[in-house]
Structure 1
Amino acid sequence: MFVKLWMTSNVLTVTSDQPIIEVERLLREHRIRRVPVVDEGKLVGIIGQEDLFRAMPSIFDPSASPEDLERTGYIKAGAIMTSTPITVDPSTPLEQAALLMRSHKFGSLPVLQDEQLVGIITETNIFDALLEIFAARKQGARIEIKIDRKPASFYAMLQVFKKCEIAILGIAVLHDYSEEHQLVTLKVQGDNLDRLIDGLWAAGLQINRMHAEESDSAPS
């Protein structure tokens, strides 16, 4: 999966000469935490809630006068923004973007293509991708299978699913589950789950855990 599949394309932006009081209002009204700063179509920075908190005195600070609060509100966004934001492009693998966000403790990253801002990838986008990978919104059974690291074992597992006509909705692999094994988690659909379980055991594959979801609809 790549960033272009999950990024938000309609990006809210501000300019470097906008007062930070306007930036704060924009973040609050749209319930976002960071916003790119764009001048004449070019990304020049990014500004987030943490920048605003550092720049604006608290209304609960007894040492801050009304004049201080008003004056601070007219500081320009360019004065407190991060002027060299880390960016990704639409073809960046999603996991690489997530790693950058995790390493730098960012909640979002601007997406540039040919030096033009084309989107933003956020924590919410990453969460949505994770839900899709695990088919969280689809009805089915969740199976965890412990297999060794040999490619043949993975192929044998897939053959059992094929033989039992079980559809795989989502799949994830925890490669470093143990020294000898990897843990494969699958979301599946099909009417032959009992046959599937027998087939997996017969193929020498260990079922670590299985959970069959019940339908949300009440019986008639």
Structure 2
Amino acid sequence: MFVKLWMTSNVLSVTSNQPMVEVEQLMRQHRIRRVPVMDGDKLVGIISREDLFRAMPSIFDPSISPEQLEQAGRITAATVMTPSPITVDPATPLEEAALLMRTHKFGSLVVVQDGQVVGIITETNIFDAFLEILGARKEGARIELKVDRSQQAFYAMMQVFKKCQMTVLGMTVFPDFSETHQLVTLKVQGDDMEKLVDSLWAAGLQINRMHTEGKEREEG
């Protein structure tokens, strides 16, 4: 999966000389947590709601004078933005973008193509992709299998699902589950789960855990 499939397009932006009060109003009006800062077509920074909270005094703070509030109202985006933000391309693999965000503790990355801002990828976008990959929004059975590390074992597993006419809605692989096995988790739909279970065991595949229709059981 690539960033372009999950990024938010038509991104709102602000200019570096825009007052912070206007930036805050824009973000609150559109319910966004981060906004790129643009000078013409050039990306020069990014501002988060946390940046705003740190830079702007609270009107409820009794120690803040009217003069300080007035001065705060003249603060511009350039003063508090994170300059020269790290960006990704629409063709960047989603896991690479997620790793960048995790490593640098970013909540989002601006997406740039040929020097133009074309989108933004956020934590929410990453979570949505994760849910889609796991088939979380679709009904079905979730099965964890301990599968030998060999290619033959993985092929045999997929043949069982094909034989039992199961639709695979999502799949993840944890290759370092143990020294001898990888852990494969699948979300599947089909009419005969009992047949599937029997066929998996018959093929020498170990069911670690199975969850279906609100019930969970460990197969051992």
Bin for the TM-score computed over the shorter chain: over 0.9
* Residue identity opposite 2:126 in structure 1: I
Cα-to-partner distance string for 1:85-128 (whole Å, 9 max, x where unaligned): 01000000001111111111111110000010000001111111
Q: Which runs of 5+ in 2 are unaligned?
A: 215-220
2:138 aligns to what? 138
**What residue number does 2:187 align with?**
187
Structure 2 distance, partners of 1:100, 1:157, is 33
CA contact (8 A) 2:43 2:84 kept: no
TM-score of the pair, normalised by structure 1 = 0.93
- Spell out the pairing of 1:31-110 with structure 2 (5 A cutoff): 31-110=31-110
The answer to whether residue 123 in structure 2 is matched with residue 117 in structure 1 is no
- CA-to-aligned-CA distance 1:9-46 (integer Å, 9 cap, x gap): 01011011100111112222222221100111111111
> 2: CA distance between counterparts of 1:75 and 1:63?
19
For residues 85 and 125 of structure 1, what CA distance do their matches in structure 2 show? 19
Unaligned runs of 5+ in 1: 215-220
Q: Which amino acid aligns with 1:42?
A: K
**Corresponding residue number in structure 2 for 1:217:** none
Letter in 2 for 1:72: A
Q: Give the whole-Å Cα distance in 2 for the aligned partners of 1:165 and 1:51.
A: 52
What is the number of residues matched between the two proteins?
Answer: 214
**Residue number in structure 1 paired with 2:178:** 178
Higher mean C-alpha deviation, range 12-21 or range 171-180: 171-180
**Per-residue CA shift, 1:48-95, capped at 9, x if unaligned?**
122222221233433320220121121110122111101000000001
Partner of 2:166: 166
How many angstroms apart in 2 are the aligned matches of 1:141 and 1:188? 5
The 3-state SS of whatever aligns with 1:45 is strand
CA distance in structure 2 between the partners assigned to 1:88 and 1:160 by the alignment:
39
> What secondary structure sits across from 2:47 in the alignment?
strand
Partner Cα separation in structure 2 for residue 60 and residue 74 of structure 1: 19
Alpha-carbon contact 2:20-2:74 (below 8 Å) kept: yes
% same residue: 72
**2:10 matched residue in structure 1:** 10
| d(CA) in 1 for partners of 2:84, 2:211 | 47
Question: Please, what is the CA RMSD of the aligned residues?
Answer: 1.2
State the match for 2:149 in structure 1: 149
Name the CA distance, whole Å, in 2 between partners of 1:186 and 1:24: 43
Q: Where does residue 126 of structure 2 map in the other structure?
A: 126
Task: Give distance in 2, aligned partners of 1:70 and 1:182.
Answer: 61
Normalising by structure 2, we get a TM-score of 0.93
